[in-house]
Amino acid sequence: MTDVREHATGHPATDPHREVGAPVLRYGGADRTTGAQRFLADLPFPGAAQVALVSVPVGSARIDAVDTSAALAVPGVVAVLTAADLPDPMPRFGISHRDRPVLATGRVTYHGEPVAAVAAETLDAAREAARAVRIDYTELPGVYTLDDALAPDAPLVQDPSVRPDGDPLAGGNVLEHVHYGWGGPGTTADPDTDTDTALVVEDVYTFPMVTHFPIEPGGTVVVPTDQGGLDVYSPVQHPYLLQRTIAALVDLPLSRVRVVAPDPGGGFGGKQNPRFEPLLAHLALRTGRTCRLVLSLEDTFQSMRRAGCRVHARTGFTADGAITFHDVRADYQIGAYADVAPRVMTKGSYVAAGPYRIPSVRIEGRAVLTNTTPSTAFRGFGSPQVCWATENQLDAAARRLGIDGLEIRRRNLAARGEEFIRGGSPAAADGDWRQALDKAAELVGWHEPPAPNRGRGIAVGIKPGATSGLSQSLVRLLSDGSAIAYAGTSDMGQGARTLWQQILADELGVGLDRVTVVSGDTATVPFDLQTSASRSTVFMGTAVLRACRDVRRQVLELFAETTGTPEELLDHAPGVLLTPDGELPLADAARTALGSLHGEFIGQGTRRLRGRAGHPLGGDAAFYEFNATAIEVEVDRETGELLLTRHVTVGDVGAELNPLQVVAQDEGAAIMGLGHSQMEQLLLDEHGRIRNLGALDYRIPTFQDVPLDLVSAAIENHDGPGPYGSKGISEGALLCTAGALGAAVADATGVVIRDLPLTPERVWTALHAEPAD
């Protein structure tokens, strides 16, 4: 793996800072590498009741009866909870739609949906009792594919009564439907009548359902408190969202619901939103006991996934490769409940035309319900699905027009400040994106002749950052010169706490080893809307930075009062107080200001972005993640196996606050992108059950699958909205991995494959297929 930091452009982020811009090691990283890190399942809860879930072995069924008598007779059983034990109507929760019941009521809508929950003194007893619960059910026709769900006579996944009042789509399986577009009728262009359009490319592309596969399975622990409240322990990415959800479901004030979020062992979007926490909350209140649920990996597979997608694309080009129109219809297979999937569809569809200048665009997106595991956020948040189609369209046109795949992108890529999304809510390029594209081509050796059986592909991808949000931070500068930052952002591997540590070190003049960061507890840290959309640096980073500068202001004011120095003769800068006698280290100035009272300074910082009414995303994106990926691949024509000899990823990062973490995020995202590009897919049987549950039957990339040379580079122009000109970067390197790989395979073999993943079987079959008539 190669880091090409010397190729980054722009001014170094280390000027005038000392720690920001340096490759500081991960805050808390030692515990993760040694195994000392304690995840949810490692936390001791003496006397906790262990919980097991009960489900039926099909994806669609009517629940006729539930008999818990045998389960209650198992020694050690504390309680068996069914829908009959919960309030009527059944409490429901959700992000965009409150459609998900605490327990299945009346019917099962996906395989693995819990129908009952058992709490017992031991896990063995809970599992034995779960097996003893008798559920009489009638299997119902299920819709397990997009074609099934969109058929005119398709059974409904959701009862219309669950849908919002007056929902015109309630009679079908489309949950939400969006349209974007601009320009004239060019999307119906015909080469025979349109003088600008010389070529029309039209094809259908599919993107698989995949699972997040975090190394730590899901789980939660709920503890009833003496004050009638609940302490909820969950590796959730959005602690404050979980707090609001639980409080609403069990009718408690927010002050009585505390969420403690231990560092998750991988999230990738899969641990953003509540799933089983509401069930555990009801069980804890019913029993008065601490209730603990830790899922198996197989259970985790059945609780979250990425939305699969089918994209129909029709694109027009001039003879020299300029895009004249782009018509996209994207159907996202979101599963049985909404979760955040409608937002995934909306946000992904919004950039379905890519980062290109296109005079006429029509985009249609649909979130389609199926009797499958509910989908949720997943690194890339809907953009990789449509990027796969759009990048393929450009490569198809390049081949037919005899234009280089790099050149066709250079001719169409939006320049800095140029609108690439038009209409009522335009969006402009917030970076010099061609720099990343050209750098990726250079690093992959684009213009060098490839070896036999090798080919190269290049692609670009874009994703909108957060469109609204509120992040608040507190920073304490203590009398001994040490400092503490309080931030509600979850650190799930992106290294957020390391950045806060670096910012405090520079802004307050404190050594890294004297900075502590506190997060993950709603009773301790101030509010943060969520940890998603690569917002941690831009939003919470700005809040921490402002809190530090608030501390510096307070030091100046009290120093002036204590010493009798007029405030107008003082100023502050990173790490120092500027006095008439010269620079004074901030810690020394703080001690002088506090005097014999000791005490501390407490600074508060906020980063707020309000939405915008009428905008299709609810607001303008704070920034765009842009990435260019180039891949060289060697294809074994006898087996269909792919050997990635070189994989280059270049991101437009604004500023690298910690180059080591940028490389780690890029490499992780790139390899994760290879998963859905080469091997990952959830396979279902005729009953809607996942056939390849678990680590043995579901393949993810291992060290045997990574590229021989994985190259990471960054473009720095200090043009982002975050601290010191930074942008979010955690998702970019997987946005267009599939597009680059598909183009490389086509370049090596002459065979175009439009369905992911590019497994050896699929590649071999395409290589040996009979030519079409």
Q: Which tens digits make up the pLDDT trace of 603-655? A: 999 999 999 988 999 999 999 999 999 999 999 999 999 999 999 999 999 99
Return the axis-axis angle of helices 383-401 and 341-350, rounded to nearest 10°. 30
Q: How far apart are CA 396 and CA 378, in angstroms?
A: 28
CB 657 within 8 A of CB 20: yes
How are beta strands 576-579 and 582-585 bridged, if at all? antiparallel
Torsion angle defined by CA atoms of residues 562, 568, 574 and 580, in that order, rounded to the nearest 10 degrees: -80
**Phi and psi torsions of 56, nearest 5°:** -115, 155
Between helix 737-749 and helix 659-678 the angle, nearest 10°, is: 60
- Residue 652 per-residue DSSP state: E
In a domain, 252, yes or no: yes
One-letter amino acid for residue 218 of the chain? G
Which residue type, as a one-letter code, is found at position 768? H
Cα gap 24→35, rounded to integer Å: 20
Query: pLDDT (tens digit, 9 = 90+) per residue, 235-251?
Result: 999 999 999 999 999 99
> What is the arithmetic mean of pLDDT over 428-452?
97
One domain, residues 682 and 728: yes
Which is it for strands 624-635 and 454-464: parallel, antiparallel or unpaired? antiparallel
- Other C-beta atoms closer than 10 Å to the C-beta of 765 total 13
d(CA 566, CA 568): 5
Strand 483-487 relative to strand 515-518, pairing: parallel
Q: Are residues 260 and 122 in the same domain?
A: yes
Q: Residues 602, 708: one domain?
A: no
Q: 114: cis peptide before it, omega within 30°?
A: no
Q: How confident is the model over 352-363, as pLDDT tens digits?
A: 999 999 999 999
Please check the confidence at residue 591 and state whether its pLDDT lies above 60: yes
Domain count, the chain: 3
pLDDT confidence band for 9 (50 / 70 / 90) = very low
Give the pLDDT of residue 495: 85
Is the model's pLDDT at 314 over the cut of 70?
yes
* Cα 162 from Cα 176, distance rounded (Å): 14
> 117 and 102 in contact (C-beta within 8 Å)?
no
| 109 shares its domain with 248 | yes
Asked if the model's pLDDT at residue 12 lies above 80, the reply is no
Confidence at 494, pLDDT banded by 50, 70, 90 = confident
Is the same domain home to 652 and 522? no
Whether 109 maps to a domain, the answer reads: yes
User: Which range is least confidently modeled, 310-324, 527-541, 734-748?
Assistant: 527-541
Q: Which residue has the tokens 């069924």?
A: 61
| 366 located within any domain | no
Provide, rounded to the nearest whole percent, the portion of the chain with pLDDT above 90: 89
User: Has residue 214 got a pLDDT over 80?
Assistant: yes
Rounded (10°) angle between helices 737-749 and 383-401: 30
In a domain, 147, yes or no: no
Provide the residue type at 670 as one letter.
A
Q: Residue 440 has what pLDDT?
A: 98
Both 567 and 687 in one domain: the answer is: no
Complete DSSP assignment for 657-716: S-HHHHHHHHHHHHHHHHHHHHT----B-TTS-BSS-STTTS----TTTS-SSEEEEEEE
Q: Does any domain span residue 371?
A: no
**End-to-end Cα spacing for the chain:** 44
**What is the predicted pLDDT for the residue at 14?**
39
365 pLDDT band (50/70/90 cuts)? very high
How high is the pLDDT of residue 597?
86
Give the per-residue pLDDT at 532.
77
Q: Which residues pair with 280 in a beta bridge?
A: none
Average pLDDT value for residue range 295-304:
94
Beta-strand pair 291-294/49-54: parallel
Tens digit of each residue's pLDDT (9 = 90 or more) over 87-125: 999 999 999 899 999 999 999 999 999 999 999 999 999
What is the distance between the alpha carbons of residues 182 and 359, in angstroms, rounded to a whole number? Answer: 7
Which tops the pLDDT comparison, 530 or 70? Answer: 70
Q: Which is more confidently placed, 15 or 506?
A: 506
Buried b (16+ CB within 10 A) or exposed e, 475-487: bbbbbebbbbbbb
The answer as to whether 616 is a domain residue is: no
Q: 206 lies in a domain?
A: no
Helix (H, G, I), strand (E, B) or coil at 85: helix
Both 233 and 269 in one domain: the answer is: yes
Task: Give domain status of residue 201, yes or no.
Answer: no
* Alpha-carbon gap, residue 524 to 543, rounded angstroms: 16
In this prediction, residues 262-291 reach a mean pLDDT of: 95
Burial class (CB in 10 A: 0-12, 13-18, 19+), 433: buried
Angle at 148 between CA 329 and CA 312, to 5 degrees: 15
Residue 470 bridge partners (DSSP) = 608
Virtual torsion, Cα 747, 752, 755, 756, nearest 10 deg: -10
Show the CA angle centred on residue 727, arms to residues 726 and 733, nearest 5°.
Answer: 130
Structure tokens at 34: 């040694």
CA of 141: how far to CAs of 44, 180, 335, in Å? 44, 34, 15
What are the start-end ranges of the E strands in 433-509?
A: 454-464, 469-478, 483-487
Give residue 534's pLDDT.
Answer: 80
d(CA 512, CA 493): 19
Alpha-carbon span 293 to 53, nearest angstrom = 9
Name residue 737's amino acid: T
**pLDDT value of position 244:** 97
Whether 435 and 507 share a structural domain: no
Q: Which residues pair with 515 in a beta bridge?
A: 483
Q: What is the pTM of this model?
A: 0.95
Q: What is the DSSP string of 18-78?
A: SSTTS-PPPTTHHHHHHT----GGGS--TTPEEEEEE--SSSSEEEEEEE-HHHHTSTTEE
When mean pLDDT is compared across 23-27, 110-114, 526-530, 582-586, the lowest value belongs to 526-530
Phi-psi region of 294 (alpha: psi -120 to 50; beta: other; left: phi over 0): beta
| Predicted confidence (pLDDT) per residue in 249-272, tens digit | 999 999 999 999 999 998 899 999
- Give the end of a domain, one of 578, 609, 640: 609
CATH of the domain at 135: 3.90.1170.50
- Residue 29 has which token pair? 């990283």
β-partners of residue 8 are none
Distance from C-alpha of 130 to C-alpha of 144, rounded to nearest angstrom: 27
> Which single residue is written with the structure tokens 């629940």?
63
Task: Average the pLDDT over 512-540 and give the result.
Answer: 91
Question: Above 90 in pLDDT, residue 770?
Answer: no
What is the token pair recorded at 708? 């021989």
Segment 563-581 mean pLDDT: 97
Q: Within 10 A of 261 (CB to CB), how many other CB atoms are there?
A: 27
Q: Return the pLDDT at 578.
A: 97
Q: What is the pLDDT of residue 209?
A: 98
Q: Is the pLDDT of residue 374 over 50?
A: yes
Which structural domain range is residue 653 located in? 1-13+430-464+623-773
Last residue of a domain, one of 268, 301, 334: 301
Domain with residue 568: its CATH number is: 3.30.365.10
Alpha-carbon distance of 39 to 18, in angstroms, equals: 33
| Tens digits of residue pLDDT in 652-677 | 999 999 999 999 999 999 999 999 99
- Within 13 A of 603's CA, how many CA atoms are on the CB side? 26
**Is residue 762 domain-shared with residue 636, that is, in the same domain?**
yes
**Residue where a domain stops, chosen among 580, 609, 638:** 609
| E strand residue ranges, 436-565 | 454-464, 469-478, 483-487, 515-518
Rounded to whole angstroms, what are the CA distances from 745 to 644, 736, 742, 754, 772? 10, 14, 5, 11, 19
Q: pLDDT band for position 298 (50/70/90)?
A: very high
Residues 495 and 531 in one domain: yes
Whether the CB-CB separation of 294 and 41 falls below 8 Å is answered with yes
**pLDDT over 90 (residue 600):** yes
Cβ burial, residue 69 (10 Å; 0-12/13-18/19+): exposed
Q: Please check whether residues 479 and 458 belong to one and the same domain.
A: no
Mean pLDDT value of segment 374-379: 97
Beta strand residue intervals within 481-623, DSSP E? 483-487, 515-518, 571-573, 576-579, 582-585, 600-609
pLDDT confidence band for 407 (50 / 70 / 90): very high
**Residue type for 241, please?**
L
Burial of 188 (C-beta count, 10 Å sphere; 0-12/13-18/19+): middle
Pairing of strands 134-139, 61-67: antiparallel
Distances (CA, A) of 329 to 41, 310, 374, 385, 519: 43, 8, 22, 12, 42
Q: What single-letter DSSP state applies at residue 322?
A: -
Instruction: Write out the H or E segment, with its range, that includes residue 119.
Output: strand 116-120
Q: Before 89, cis peptide (omega within 30)?
A: yes
**Residues 655, 605 share a domain:** no
680-686-689-691 Cα dihedral, nearest 10 degrees: -40
In this prediction, residue 185 carries a pLDDT of: 56
CA distance 480 to 633: 57
